[in-house]
Amino acid sequence: GSGERPAELSKWMTPAASRKYSQPPRIEDIAEFGGRWRHWWNGMQPKWRRSSEVNTLPLPLSSATGKQDIGSLKKAGPNGFSLLLVSLKWW
């Protein structure tokens, strides 16, 4: 969730930063940012999709069985899926 969000993203989202799309935050260690980003993304997943391995992406959607879905990830608005895409661009 938001408590696991990379600090660069949280800072960029503040009203003072005004979400300047043309001015992404300075990321000192891109590999470390990638690890924190994957941890954040993995933590947002439904339990069935979370990877138990550190620094990895969630399990593939094809691993779903029965009624398992990703409905909990459907988030609209300025803090929704578009924010995830913006942060991927930085990485």
DSSP string, 32-75: HHHHHHHHHHHHHS-GGG--SSTT-PPPPGGG--TT---GGG--
pLDDT number for residue 54 = 87
What are the tens digits of pLDDT across the range 34-85? 999 999 999 999 999 999 998 889 999 999 998 999 988 887 777 778 888 8
Residue with tokens 């947002």: 44
pLDDT higher than 70, residue 86: yes
pTM above 0.85, yes or no: no
Question: In the structure encoding, which two tokens stand for residue 56, read together?
Answer: 């990895």
Q: Please check the confidence at residue 1 and state whether its pLDDT lies above 70.
A: no
pLDDT at 51: 92
Question: How many other C-beta atoms lie within 10 A of the C-beta of residue 33?
Answer: 19
Distance CA 49, CA 14 (A): 30
